[in-house]
Structure 1
Amino acid sequence: MATPAIRTFRRLEGLFCVYKPPGVHWKLVRDSVETSLLKGVNTTPSRPLPREIRFLPLQGNETGTAKEITVSAASVPVLSKHPLVTGPEFQNIKVGVGHHLDAFSSGVLVLGVGNGNKALNNLHQTRVTRDYTLEGEFGTATDDFSHKGRVVETTTYDHITQEKLDKVLAMLQGANQKALLMYSRVDMRSQEAYEMAVQGLLGPEGKSLPILTDIRCIHFQPPSFTLEVQCLNETQKYLRKIVHEIGLELRSTAVCKGVRRTRDGCFTLQDALTRNHWTATDIMGAIQQYHATKKNKKKSSHSKNMDSRLQLEGFKITTNEENATNQGEAVHTIK
């Protein structure tokens, strides 16, 4: 029979996401979550201690120099099963980490507990896109493309307008769209490619170079600007380099002042747990919400498939009836 701690752990199995603050390594975030989960699981009220029958001596009346000892049966708890003797029931809880964020980035970080680690592997194998918000600044170039690096060049930026920036972004997105089609390994003239494009499944097979599926400017106030990026197989260093290359295309320089992930697959900032909510109770609620969302998606996809099948069957029946009618008219005409 499962103990209360084991039942609590089973309710914690699944995927959830937390908000990683900037300046913190993802390993520290994972360790903090593991410690919080261990504390929450091990503090679950345990079952009463099992009891056993023991014969305890009772001291009787003294007769001369001898002592009479009587024995009585008593039910006593088994102290060898006490938590202070056995220690905590869970010594370690493995928490898996999804697509990593470096120390200087922030945003959505997907984690998995228990069988959620398998779901993390499946999430990596699927073509899920991630959204980022990049904050840039014109006029400076550094050795690591961030504002904290060593400055190697300073330039002017008065000639840069939002129209010029949008043209560079459109050119960059077009080049990445060609790369997306090249790495997809699907014949673009086939029905399969059309269906994959409609469902948003068109993408590279396995690992490939980073690909930007969408990029646009959402804020422009020189020297500061903000980009919204949707990408595949990216790293945060690559995104900072993109900001640097945009500055070069505009005949200036630019550095990246911040990288924030706003979406990782189906997880968004609204789903991310902040530092004050990295507790077993809040994580359990987030995982239950993930399971509920997953079930709803399966039901909706199943209903869509059923509707398409019914429409196809109805089309076949109508076609057969029309063919039968046409054949009957043709026979009547021949007669």
Structure 2
Amino acid sequence: MGSAGLARLHGLFAVYKPPGLKWLHLRDTVELQLLKGLNAGKPPAPEHRVRFLLAPMEGSEEKELTLTAASVPTLTNHRLVHGPAFTSLKIGVGHRLDAQASGVLVLGVGHGCRLLTNMYHAHLTKDYTVRGLLGKATDDFCEDGRLVEKTTYDHVTREKLDRILAVIQGSHQKALVTYSNLDLQSQEAYEMAVRGVIRPMNKSPMLITGIRCLRFTPPEFLLEVQCMHETQQQLRKLVHEIGLELKTTAVCTQVRRTRDGFFTLDDALLRTQWNLNSIQDAIGAAAPRVAAELENLRPRLDTQEHPSPGQPWDSKGPRSTLGLESCAGH
């Protein structure tokens, strides 16, 4: 099972990261479960070698010993002698999630680590649901942070929130065109706009391609955000700045990624599925889709600027996550 199982472990798959779990601990847990599955297979039959062993001579009354040829197993490759066959795996992590966030996290095994790099250069959008709470402000924009202010929010309506979201989306869409380095008068720009695949050529501040309110039940509200080059802390700060634009305050109570490029919540393996068979099946199911999507993006990927070694996947972004200052004049 070991070698055959390893051959099916080259590719990409997604897991669901629960809140409170660090991405590095998740990666190590997945690696441990995969190694356990690879090493759990039945070991191959040991090789036999001919040895000359001392044995009593037949028909001798004085119990004389003589060398007798015998076939005995070779134990040099036995698991109890040299240890487990697999001790480490090459597992890469895509766009990371911080400890407080949850949702889709893409991992790559073996050759799949190269596909993670291709996903990085494609500048694919990611979807989040972000939950906010009106009337409070904290030092880290999270509900459990140190409280710095409490405000009223009775004047906030769904219409006012929708107007603020429309302004945010419009300003970020202008910035998206600017960072894409496209000639707006060209046929290429027109065709890409029709297909909705305009993306920045290189790294950029956080760009929001879509934002809308899914639910508004004061003091709580739920946003759906499509974005790229973001960090989860920037999304929390976005909630804080939306509260300020509404003449009140707001904190973020939840950040949940629902899609990362080609992978959605339906593809994400739950904690009980972090085992060899489930991951092999997930890699096999995702492989044709990933190959087709990357092939469609290949002309665009060939023009991307490769990051320097050690460059993080997530940019720091502008000081204002609303992007109103950084987009002025574009």
Hey, what does 1:160 align to over in structure 2?
Answer: 156
Hey, what does 2:247 align to over in structure 1?
Answer: 251
The within-5 A match list for 1:316-331 is none
Hey, what does 2:310 align to over in structure 1?
Answer: none
User: Structure 2 residue aligned with 1:226, among 219, 222, 247?
Assistant: 222
Give the SS at the match of 1:170: helix
- Evaluate the alpha carbon distance shift between residue 264 and residue 221 of structure 1 in structure 2; reply closer, same or farther with a 3 A threshold: same
1:16 aligned to 2:13? Answer: yes
1:242 aligned to 2:238? Answer: yes
1:277 aligned to 2:273? Answer: yes
Q: Is the 8 A contact 2:142 2:251 kept in 1?
A: yes
User: Structure 2 residue aligned with 1:26, among 6, 18, 23?
Assistant: 23
CA distance in 2, matches of 1:263, 1:239: 15
| Deviant stretches of 4+, over 4 Å | 61-64, 295-299
1:50 aligned to 2:21? Answer: no
CA distance in 2, matches of 1:157, 1:178: 31
Hey, what does 2:91 align to over in structure 1?
Answer: 95
- Evaluate the alpha carbon distance shift between residue 172 and residue 298 of structure 1 in structure 2; reply closer, same or farther with a 3 A threshold: closer
CA distance in 1, matches of 2:189, 2:54: 85
Q: Is the 8 A contact 2:118 2:294 kept in 1?
A: no
Give the SS at the match of 2:64: strand
Instruction: Quote how far apart the aligned CAs of 1:205 are.
Output: 1.3
Instruction: Quote how far apart the aligned CAs of 1:72 are.
Output: 2.3
Instruction: Quote how far apart the aligned CAs of 1:297 are.
Output: 5.9
User: Structure 2 residue aligned with 1:79, among 70, 75, 78?
Assistant: 75
CA distance in 1, matches of 2:135, 2:82: 63
CA distance in 2, matches of 1:201, 1:160: 35
CA distance in 1, matches of 2:61, 2:39: 53
CA distance in 2, matches of 1:98, 1:281: 21
- Evaluate the alpha carbon distance shift between residue 213 and residue 86 of structure 1 in structure 2; reply closer, same or farther with a 3 A threshold: same
Deviations 1:101-125 (A, max 9, x none): 0000000000010000000011111
Instruction: Quote how far apart the aligned CAs of 1:296 are.
Output: 6.4
User: Structure 1 residue aligned with 2:102, among 100, 106, 110?
Assistant: 106
CA distance in 2, matches of 1:30, 1:298: 24
Hey, what does 1:203 align to over in structure 2?
Answer: 199
Q: Is the 8 A contact 1:108 1:268 kept in 2?
A: yes
**Sequence identity, in percent?**
53
Q: How many residues were matched structurally?
A: 295
Unaligned runs of 5+ in 1: 302-335
Q: Is the 8 A contact 1:212 1:232 kept in 2?
A: yes
Hey, what does 1:126 align to over in structure 2?
Answer: 122
Hey, what does 2:147 align to over in structure 1?
Answer: 151
Amino acid of the residue matched to residue 53 of structure 2? L
Q: Is the 8 A contact 1:127 1:201 kept in 2?
A: no
- Evaluate the alpha carbon distance shift between residue 172 and residue 297 of structure 1 in structure 2; reply closer, same or farther with a 3 A threshold: closer
Amino acid of the residue matched to residue 15 of structure 1? L
Instruction: Quote how far apart the aligned CAs of 1:201 are.
Output: 2.4
1:184 aligned to 2:177? Answer: no
Instruction: Quote how far apart the aligned CAs of 1:91 are.
Output: 1.2
Return the TM-score normalized by structure 2. 0.86
CA distance in 2, matches of 1:132, 1:50: 55
Unaligned runs of 5+ in 2: 297-330
Q: Is the 8 A contact 2:165 2:212 kept in 1?
A: yes
Give the SS at the match of 1:34: helix
Deviations 1:72-122 (A, max 9, x none): 222111111211112111111121100000000000000010000000011
CA distance in 2, matches of 1:296, 1:102: 30
Hey, what does 1:310 align to over in structure 2?
Answer: none
Give the SS at the match of 2:27: helix
Amino acid of the residue matched to residue 122 of structure 1? N
